[in-house]
Amino acid sequence: MNLSRGNQIELLQSGGEFFPALCEAIAGAQQLVHLETYIFALDETGQRISAALCAAARRGVSVRLVIDGFGSRSFVDSQLDALTAAGVEVMVFRREISLLSLRRQRLRRLHRKLACIDGRLAFVGGINIIDDHDTPGQTPPRFDYAIRIDGPLAQQVRQTQENLWRTLRWSQLRSRTHAHAIKLPAPSHAGKIQARLVLRDNLRHRRDIEDAYLEAIAHARHEILIANAYFLPGRRFRNALLEARQRGVRVTLLLQGRVEYWLLHHACNALYPQLMAAGIRIVEYRKSFLHAKVAVIDDNWATVGSSNIDPFSLALAREANVIILNADFCHKLRSSLQAAIADGGHELSANHWQTLPPLRRLLSWTAYSLLRWLAERLAPPH
């Protein structure tokens, strides 16, 4: 999509800032609330958002909810009737049937997190509808980001959601249900920020998010700072970072330090030697679970969204990132990431890999090979 001008974009850190902002926006909705999420949990946060959606529907607002059939499978089984009874229209993206299936479609999930209010406000990021503390053994909250958009870019978010809504309604033979069009005025300019919504799907936009990263990395002159929960890039992405480092660009990766998904964690570790040998700085975030998918490059390029840098996000799932071209926003995001590094980061030493036991290194390479094989098997044909 084209670059959007005239936006005000607010950075929201973790659920402590995101959920109050989302609830306030839903409470102020007059015509439309449209929410998409991968996980909709049954915890206190999920109940809070459900109550806000139901209240909006009861006062006559058109409320649409799209949830992923795998990430929200417990929600699908237990909560749909209550939402529907309140007037919320719910669609399930790829309802999960078998937990053991290895069909290609199994991992083509709706992983993006989008919300649009009256076509004038939008939220984009990596935060699911789940409590920040809803992870076993965790005390500090999950570390993540979203943005609140006020301005023309919100219309692009709305159109993106509308396109998927129509597709799901058609695929689920519900084309005659709730087919009324919701006409909303175009949002006016609310600020001076230029931004672009970048999508990933398995049709027209297969490489759009990865290509946006690669273009920005190729033009980097001073600094690349990437924070990503699941970092397992392909050869093109790794080479781009190595070439940037050869040009003298400072490259810092803030990655997951705690083991949340065993296979992914150890596979990511297999890439550390190549990256660190080139002088790329790797910091593991260990204070809590890192779920962020953000980056800052130089002084005027940043991205916040749902896409990890791994085969599942970059080659299988539906994702949505926003690219922000604004020095003030970049400064705020960089400062937040630097504070996280100082507070909860552990920088790995240059000989980190050599100090690991041989069995641990073998485990990492085995996990990496298995995940790459799995991704190639499940990726859509070109």
Mean pLDDT, range 135-145, rounded to an integer: 79
The catalytically annotated residue of 111, 131, 144, 266 is 111
Catalytic residue among 34, 68, 118, 201: 118
State mean pLDDT over 138-144.
83
Residue 113 bears catalytic tag: yes
In sequence order, what are the residues at sequence separation of 6 or more whose Cβ sits closer than 8 angstroms to the Cβ of residue 125? Answer: 12, 18, 113, 144, 145, 146, 147, 304, 305, 306
Domain segments of the chain as ranges = 4-191, 194-377
Check residue 269 and give its pLDDT.
Answer: 87
Please give the distance of CA 310 from its chain centroid, rounded to a whole number. 12
77 is catalytic: no
Superfamily of structural domain 194-377: Endonuclease Chain A (3.30.870.10)
Return the CATH number of the domain spanning residue range 4-191: 3.30.870.10
Q: 42-52 as b/e, with b when 16 or more CB fall inside 10 Å?
A: beebbebbbeb
Q: Is the pLDDT of residue 265 over 60?
A: yes
pLDDT digits (tens, 9 = 90+) for 18-46: 999 999 999 999 999 999 999 999 899 99
Is 192 designated active site?
no
Q: 3-state DSSP call for residue 257?
A: coil
Q: Record the tokens describing residue 326, joined without a space.
A: 């604004």
* Same fold for the pair 4-191 and 194-377: yes
Whether residue 126 is predicted with pLDDT greater than 90 in this model: the reply is yes
* Number of neighbouring beta carbons within 10 Å of residue 297: 26
Q: Which of 132, 134, 293, 310 is catalytic?
A: 293
Can 134 be counted among the known catalytic residues?
no
Measured CA to CA in angstroms, residue 341 lies from 10, 168, 253, 329, 361 at distances of 21, 41, 10, 18, 25
| pTM for the predicted model, two decimal places | 0.93
User: What integer is the mean pLDDT of 167-180?
Assistant: 68
Catalytic residue among 133, 205, 265, 298: 298
Asked about 298 being catalytic, the answer comes back as yes
Residue 209 in contact with residue 308, Cβ under 8 Å?
Answer: no
At 53 the pLDDT is 97
CA 342 to chain centre: 24
Residue 276 token pair = 């660190």
Active site residue 111: yes
